[in-house]
Amino acid sequence: MPTFTAADGTALAYHLRGRGAPLAVLPGGPMRASAYLGDLGGLTAHRRLALLDLRGTGDSGTPDDPATYRCDRMVDDVERWRAHLGLERMDLLAHSAAGSLALLYAARHPHRIRRLALITPNPSALGLRATPADRLAAARLRADEPWFGRAFPAYEAWLAGDADFDEVFLPFFYGRWDDTARAHTGHEEAQTNDEAAERYFAEGAFTPDATRAALAALTAPVLIHAGEYDGGPTPALARRAAEHLPGAEVNVQPGAGHYPWLDDPGHFVRRVLAFLGEDGDAPR
């Protein structure tokens, strides 16, 4: 397991999987160990994945200062990792909450990005975020599912702040609530640093106006890959985020939730490879 050292002395780990041109991968959660990404639906057959464990997660060390769990504070970790990997420019893939980390990185270091793939990203860095109404509208698309009758009232109460998180509504985060999805969510608690997650979106993490202005300098192609059934981001929110990224394209995966590589691995890999290029030379 390779490691490198952050500017504050924290030891950070990453994992190498697969073969082909390198693809740097940032995990979401927020603050969930990269293990949950698996092989990204078989993407490892085409690209060499370098999956970072963010500070305080997975095999990475715990920083002395917990304030460094804030999203913007970790941009320097990503830049130090790029230099450690020896990449002049990198193909970068980020999932979920890491979408904001990747956007902040791209705003600060636009010349270091060759291609940017944002998978069901949280676009808070752009001043955009899924609302309870967005999530409930997406949930209603699942009304024909056998578990919907029990799950929807609990989900609605949680989003309104009237109830605690309840595992009964976990199916809303997946396009298919099957054994694969159940196994995947079963590892979430052990893989997530809850203290770090609470600090990730802390006040001061984002300056959306400045970030949007800085992203005007980003010339790299950008893909925003959304799931048809995902409530955060919904396809509509993904399209709004794309408006702030020069030349960004949006793809909506049919029947997918927040983890599209689990719902239809073949579709996910084909679409991401069409953007990234199997050999690292994707079409512009």
> What average pLDDT does range 41-69 have in this prediction?
98
- In tens, the pLDDT along 214-258 reads 999 999 999 999 999 999 999 999 999 999 998 899 999 999 999
The beta-strand segments (E) located in the chain are 3-5, 11-17, 21-26, 47-52, 90-95, 113-119, 222-227, 249-253
Percent of the chain with pLDDT over 70: 98
Please tell me what DSSP assigns to residue 265. Answer: H
The Cα-based distances of 21 to 44, 229, 278 in angstroms read 10, 31, 8
- In tens, the pLDDT along 100-116 reads 999 999 999 999 999 99
Does 204 score more than 90 pLDDT? yes
Spatial distance between the Cα atoms of 201 and 25, rounded to a whole number of angstroms: 20
Does 281 score more than 70 pLDDT? no
State both tokens at 280: 């690292």
Does 125 score more than 60 pLDDT? yes
- Residue 278's pLDDT band (boundaries 50, 70, 90)? low
The Cα-based distances of 81 to 64, 184, 199 in angstroms read 19, 27, 22
Q: What pTM did the predictor assign?
A: 0.96
- In tens, the pLDDT along 72-87 reads 999 999 999 999 999 9
Residue 84 has what pLDDT?
98
Q: Sort 23 into a burial class: Cβ within 10 Å, 0-12 / 13-18 / 19+.
A: buried
Inter-residue contact 256 to 229 (CB < 8 Å): yes
Inter-residue contact 140 to 156 (CB < 8 Å): no
